[in-house]
Amino acid sequence: MGDLKLPAIDYGALAPMLILFGVACLGVLVEALVPRKSRHAIQLTLSFLAIIASFVTVIIEHGTRKITIGGAVAVDGPTLFLQGAILALGAVSLMLIGERSMEKGGAFVSQAAITVGSQKDLRQAGEQPGATEVYPLTLFALGGMLLFVSANDLLTMFVALEVFSLPLYLLCALARRRRLLSQEAALKYFLLGSYASAFFLFGAALIYGFAGGISFGAVHDAVANPQRSEVLLYAGLALVAIGLLFKAALAPFHVWTPDVYQGAPTPITALMAACTKVAAFGALLRVLYVSFEGVRWDFQPVLGVIAVLTMLVGAVLAVTQTDMKRLLAYSSVANAGYLLVGVLALNEEGLSSTMFYLVAYGFSVLAAFGIVTLVRDADGEATHLSRWAGLGRKSPLFAGTFTFILLAFAGIPLTSGFTAKFAVFGAAVEGGQTWLVIFGVISSMLLAFPYLRVVVLLWLSEPGESTPTVSIPGFMTAAALTIGVLATFALGVVPAPLIDLTRDAAQFVR
Amino acid sequence: MEQTVEYAHATGTLSGIWLLVAIPLASAAILLLLGKRADKWGHWLGVLAVAASFVLGLVFFIKLGGLDAEHRSAELSMWDFIAVGNLHVDFGLLFDPLSGIFVLLITGVGSLIHLYAVGYMEHDPGRRRFFGYFNLFVAAMLLLVLGNNYVMLYFGWEGVGLASYLLISFWYGRPSAATAGKKAFLMNRVGDTGLAIGIFIMFATLGSTQYSYVFSNVGALSSTTVLVLGILLLLGAAGKSGQFPLQAWLPDAMEGPTPVSALIHAATMVTAGVYLIARSNHIFSANHTLQTIVVSVGAFTLLMGCIIGSAKDGIKRVLAWSTVSQIGYMFLGVGLGGGAYALAIIHLVAHGFFKANMFLGAGSVMHGMHDEEDIRRFGGLRKHMKWTWLTFMMGWLAIIGIPPLSGFFSKDPIIEAAYARGDWTSWLFGTAALLGAGLTAFYMTRLFVLTFHGPERYTEQNKHPHESPFIMTVPLMLLALGSIVAGFLLSRHSAIPQWLEPVTGEGEHDPVMNKTLISILVLAVSVGGAGLAWALFSKGTALQEQPAGVVVTAARRNLYTDAFNEAVFERPGIYLTRALVFLDNKGIDGLVNGIAAGVGGSSGRLRRLQTGFVRSYALSMLTGVVLVVGAFLAIQLGWLA
């Protein structure tokens, strides 16, 4: 029995995840032991501290390049950069999640299990403060995402996928208002998510069959020097990729996105749009760049078609949307397409520009959803587009901010949207994928229409009788919006520091 | 040009040159963003910001003077402005003798005019907005002269264009002001496009827009490239500086408040073209044909401005055409090359003082006369406005070149240099410049006499002209002092040329005539012109426009340049747009609307796939899975690929 050896573990390199998971567990204890009144403040503080501590450890570890804990986790440039990005975006999402001043009790319901529409439910909707379980759940999700982008074998990646997905399914169901929609969204997300996870797992099994190992390094070696039938390889690659494409919301695996984005509480939608996207693309980058580089010429055209499809479907469907959250959902689908174009450049530039895009888009989309939480009437958020008509007259500052964010989405210069799109398209041209860029530009043009339509609606329409009011944002929402807008502007004007950072980080370990 | 151009890095105090731009910019942002809350004190903040920049500029200027000629420059790279592929553009600043002089002119004259504007705009409800735009202009102008590459210059260039546009149509309620703003905007667009294409060419052929790199490597370009590049830069310069053929917007720009006319459309912004050419002297000196073109533009414009200026009756119109003509002198100077660059800059600085002085004087006159502009309705004002009269007189004597005022020391050498060009063109350009001096004396004297001397010809509501408040006359006195003293200072002839030598280089031919003879001729022509005007107009003038001969009518119609523009550009342009609109409606719109309808339609149809049922979502995902796996296997089996 003496030859059972524990693998070497570099706790420093794992610290960002360990901190988040540890504090999340602590948060569960807080739920059990601390009186209800003081939970919100404690949980919020704890979560922020955890994220900050985790971020600090990421910075401390910035030079680490190693594979640890028995080959399960790779800590390298992309890992650390993406972990930092997830944490930074997660902190801003947490500000939106923690906001309690605009609606009594916050955006979350206190007891989600009460039958919707019953007397009891109406009472709690009006009064009780929201569930504080959202904080540990958010931390678990963020921790899972950190693990997801650092996983160095298919099984760890699968575990991480589940670790961050399950809390998100729950969080989606917790909206205070329109809870039936919220629960329906959560259930859809859960069912389809499990469906996609199954494909991922099946694919992992096939690849194990092909390579005789599950670590990305082993798969890479087997691809370079195949020993078994390549049918296993290609079928496995396809299925694993599908699992990841689902999370990244790429067509035709995007079908859940609009429904879930619309139904989920808006702060959670923001979290998914920003952080989940980073995690999903981080994993996709690692799988494709590390394991399957040897068959790049085979998967490039297939994924290219998917990118084109995604860009077109997202843009075309955004045109006829009438709900702000659904519009933003389709816009995020199209953006996933642009990101995939960057990924498919399959060169160092592609890696760095995709990472840049993830950060730039994350901050903008957080600001966008942050603004959505502000437009309210007696029934909560007023997300139907017709209700936004003429808001520019009533609240020019708000409408100006939103216009700026929409221009960033449309890729107008002096916003991060322009620099980010320029970076991924430039990388794709360099990588010989000009055809993808052509479709990307066409799609961007189509997508500019719905954005500008909203701008026109805001400024040039007459406000109607039922135009809702724009709430004065609470401190945390205001902070989140400020950060989002400033980042969108700064990355558009002085993108160089972040671009340099992504370039320095653009090297995987194998 | 085989020489290499290098700039020393900014160290010590000089590394703070970014403050010059940042202070007025911050002030503009505060004034424009705070809105009504800043109404009470906003104008003082505006004045203070420019004055602070001036003090800083002075400190930096003195520091720079302490360096030896070899290293008399300070380049400050702040961050990568644009970095894509091969294109690298620094956000960098350069403080060297040339930009130093401009900084002092802009902030010095700018401070005085800001101060004046506090009084001038006192009763205007938009005063805070005015100062916001004014500060914005100063910041952009400083960026223009302080950039260390052409893209920064272009940034500032567009910034001053924007500020100028906003300020010309400051009283946007008046249709004439709105139209003038539009005209300025469109004509500048023509020039700016030229400049932009010039910068593109620079990047395409040299791979950089950095001054040091471009100037060091301009020798590697073919002479045709240099010619094209130079003409494009000249087009930009002509647009901004109101030179032929893009001069028409400048006189109309007088629709803006008078301080704007003084600062932007007389002293600083309109000299940006001169700055551009002086800065690019390595490019312009590299091609003789190019220099001839610049000189021709300058000579032609200076005569044109004089002739039209003689026929105008609006006090600011005359001054505007005089600006066009004086900038013509500067273009003539920079076109001559060599040592004449410095002469043009001297004239530019001197002109900045005396023209700002006269514009503010004109503003003061209008202030006391219920905004009357027509000089036929003035007369005898010296009794009512002592200070305005006295200070205006200094400007008048300075511009017509009476020693020892500044115009004599700045214009005279340019005429000499024109006679020293070296071939038969010396006679052509020298004589044009000489003739211009006589005409200048004529129309400026006409303006002066009709305004301040002779019988009073006031309209009913202007019976009691009054002097302007102290806050307006003090800047006038200081500027008048500048019009006098600048002459003494610049008369130490070699001071500025030596100071600028690191930037422009030296070199001079001998004139075709004796220098003293030229000086005497210039003086004689000027005094003659002035005397003629005095004799004709000291008795007053008719109150209505009189029938006149061909020349005067042509001059009144701006030498038919507007008619020319209308016939050659505007009419065909309108027909072209009509044709294009027709094509657009029938062809392109049909296509676009078709595509839009197609997108909308397919969007509508695709939406129906989004049923909300998990089962159908799962089915569409499964379809995707089958297709993706199928495609991969097909590739593996070699069916695709």
**A115 backbone φψ class: left, alpha, beta (φ>0; ψ -120 to 50):** beta
Instruction: Give pLDDT, residue B610.
Output: 78
In the stretch 57-116 of chain B, residues with CB closer than 8 A to chain A read 79-80, 83-85
Q: Given a cut of 70, is residue B217 above it in pLDDT?
A: yes
Least confident of A28-32, A351-355, B39-43: B39-43
Going by DSSP bridges, is the β-strand pair A73-75/A380-381 parallel, antiparallel, or unpaired? Answer: unpaired
Residue B638 confidence (pLDDT) above 90 = no
Contact status, residue A337 vs residue A440, Cβ threshold 8 Å: yes
- Residue A137: burial class (beta carbons within 10 Å; 0-12, 13-18, 19+): buried
Tell me which of A93-102, A345-354, B323-332, B488-497 is least confident. B488-497
Reported as half-sphere exposure (CB side, CA atoms, 13 A), residue B309 has a value of 32
CA dist., res. B133 & res. A394, Å (int): 26
pLDDT at residue A94 is higher than 90: yes
Which residue among B79, B596, B600 places its CB closest to the CB of A496? B79
Contact list in A for residue B612 (CB cut-off 8 A) is 259
pLDDT of amino acid A376: 87
Q: How far apart are CA B39 and CA B461, in angstroms?
A: 31
- Mean pLDDT over each residue of chain A, to the nearest integer: 91
What CA–CA distance (Å, rounded) separates B503 from B514?
Answer: 29
% pLDDT > 70, chain A: 99
Place of tokens 């993706």: B628
Least confident of A6-20, A294-308, B76-90, B229-243: B76-90
Instruction: Give kind and range of the element (H or E) at residue B75.
Output: strand B74-84
User: Which of A203-207, B292-296, B553-557, B575-579 is the least confident region?
Assistant: B553-557
| 8 Å CB contact between A107 and A176 | yes
Percent helix, strand, coil in chain B, to 5, is: 75, 5, 20
Interface touch B628/A238, C-beta < 8 Å: yes
Contact B632 A299 (CB under 8 A): yes
Per-residue confidence band for A395, with pLDDT thresholds at 50, 70 and 90? confident
**CA torsion angle for B414, B415, B421, B426 (degrees, to 10)?**
160
Confidence of residue B505 (pLDDT cuts 50, 70, 90): low
Tell how far CA A479 is from the center of its chain: 20
> CB distance B84–A241 less than 8 Å?
no
Report how far residue B292's alpha carbon sits from residue B337's, in angstroms, rounded to the nearest whole number. 10
Which run of H or E residues covers position B88? strand B87-95
At residue B503 the predicted structure's pLDDT band, cuts being 50, 70 and 90, is low
pLDDT of residue A379: 78
pLDDT in tens, A141-155: 999 999 999 999 999
Mean pLDDT of the B78-84 span:
72
Q: Which residues of B fall within a CB distance of 8 Å from A318?
A: 603
- How far apart, in whole angstroms, are the C-alpha atoms of residue B264 and residue B323? 11
Give the whole-angstrom CA distance, residue A237 versus residue A207: 7
User: pLDDT tens-digit profile of A38-48?
Assistant: 999 999 999 99
In chain A, which residues have their Cβ closer than 8 Å to the Cβ of B36? none
Q: Is the dihedral of CA B198, B204, B205, B208 positive or negative?
A: positive
Task: Enumerate residues 6+ apart whose C-beta is below 8 A from B211.
Answer: B5, B7, B94, B148, B149, B150, B279
Beta bridge partners of A74: A67
State ipTM. 0.89
How many degrees, rounded to 5, is the angle at CA B351 between CA B346 and CA B354?
130
Find all residues with CB under 8 Å of B466, minimum gap 6, and list them: B368, B384, B385
The residue-averaged pLDDT of B479-484 equals 84
pLDDT computed for residue B412 by the predictor: 83
pLDDT at residue B3, as a whole number: 62
- B629 and A496: CB-CB below 8 Å? no
The residue ranges of every structural domain in chain A are: 11-505
Q: What is the pLDDT of residue B508?
A: 57
Predicted confidence band at A204 (pLDDT cuts at 50, 70, 90)? very high
Residues from chain A contacting residue B83 (CB–CB below 8 Å)? 496, 499
Q: Is B547 exposed, middle or buried (0-12, 13-18, 19+ CB in 10 A)?
A: exposed
Please, which pLDDT band fits residue A498 given cuts at 50, 70 and 90?
A: very high
The listed range with the strongest mean pLDDT (A72-76, B145-149, B220-224) is A72-76
**Best residue of A244, A317, A347 to probe chain B, by most B CBs closer than 10 Å:** A317
Least confident of A70-84, A117-131, A229-243: A117-131
Q: What is the mean pLDDT of residues A160-183?
A: 92
pLDDT band at B19, cuts 50/70/90?
A: confident
Q: H/E/C letters for each residue in A127-149?
A: CCCCCCCHHHHHHHHHHHHHHHH
* HSE (side-chain half, CA atoms, 13 Å) at B14: 25
Average pLDDT score over residue span B598-606: 81
Cis peptide before B404 (omega within 30 of 0): yes
Show Cβ contacts of residue A268 under 8 Å, excluding neighbours closer than 6 positions.
Answer: A97, A168, A171, A172, A174
Are B85 and A426 in contact (CB < 8 Å)? yes
pLDDT digits (tens, 9 = 90+) for B421-466: 777 888 888 888 888 888 898 988 988 888 888 887 777 776 777 7
The upper half-sphere exposure of residue A251, i.e. CA atoms within 13 Å in the direction of its Cβ, equals 26
The two structure tokens encoding residue A209 = 């069959």
- The end-to-end CA distance of chain B, in Å, is 56
A213-257 per-position pLDDT tens digit? 999 999 999 999 988 888 899 999 999 999 999 999 998 899 999
Q: Are B491 and B411 in contact (CB under 8 A)?
A: no
Residues counted in chain A: 510
Cα B618 to Cα A193, B599, B609: the distances in Å are 10, 26, 12
- Please tell me the distance from the alpha carbon of residue B513 to that of residue B508, in angstroms, as a whole number: 14
Confidence (pLDDT) at B613: 86
Q: What is the pLDDT of residues B96-133, one digit of tens each?
A: 888 888 898 899 888 988 888 888 888 888 888 889 99
In the block, residue with structure tokens 């007189």: B393
The rounded distance, in Å, linking the Cα atoms of A320 and B568 is 47
Q: What is chain A's percent helix, strand, coil content, to nearest 5?
A: 75, 5, 25
What digits encode the pLDDT tens for the residues A438-493? 999 999 999 999 999 999 989 988 887 777 778 888 899 999 999 999 999 999 99
Does B619 lie at the interface with A, CB-CB under 8 angstroms? no
Chain A residues in contact with B618 by the CB 8 A cut-off are: 191-192, 195
Contacts of A299 in chain B (CB under 8 A): 632
Contact present, B268 and B240 (Cβ < 8 Å): no
Of A230, A239, A319, which has the smallest distance from its Cβ to B600's Cβ? A319
Query: Cβ contacts (< 8 Å) between B620 and chain A: which residues?
Result: 252, 255
Question: Quick one: pLDDT band at residue B493, thresholds 50, 70, 90?
Answer: low
Question: How do residues B540-585 score in pLDDT, each as one tens digit?
Answer: 777 676 777 777 777 777 777 777 777 777 777 788 888 888 887 7
- Name the interface residues of A facing B (CB cutoff 8 Å): 187-188, 191-192, 195-196, 199, 230-231, 233-235, 237-239, 241-242, 246, 251-253, 255-256, 258-259, 297-299, 301-302, 305-306, 313, 316-320, 422, 426, 446, 449, 494, 496, 499
Q: Say if residue B249's pLDDT is above 90.
A: no
Mean pLDDT over residues B10-14, rounded? 75
Written as one letter, the residue type at B4 is T
Alpha-carbon gap: B257 to the closest alpha carbon of chain A (Å)? 29
- Residue B13: exposure state from Cβ atoms within 10 A (0-12, 13-18, ≥19): middle
- Residue in chain B closest to A262 (alpha carbons) equals B612
Burial environment of residue B220 by CB neighbours within 10 A (0 to 12, 13 to 18, 19 or more) = exposed
Assign B1 a pLDDT band (cuts: 50, 70, 90): very low
pLDDT in tens, A359-394: 999 999 999 999 999 988 877 888 888 888 888 888
Contact (CB, 8 A) for A297 and B641: yes
**Whole-number Å distance between alpha carbons of A420 and A423:** 5
Using CA atoms, how far apart are residues A220 and A510, in angstroms rounded to an integer?
9
Is A496 in Cβ contact with B607 (below 8 Å)? no
Please say whether the beta carbons of B492 and B413 come within 8 A: no
pLDDT, residue B641, reads 46
Q: What percent of chain A has pLDDT over 90?
A: 72
Task: Write phi, then psi, for B62 (nearest 5 degrees).
Answer: -65, -45
CA-CA distance, B40 to B31, in Å (whole number)?
11
Give the integer Cα–Cα distance in Å for A169 and B34: 45
Check if the beta carbon of residue A175 is closer than 8 Å to that of residue A265. yes
pTM here is 0.68
Place of tokens 């260390």: B148
Q: Higher pLDDT residue, A111 or A174? A: A174
Average pLDDT over residues B393-402: 87
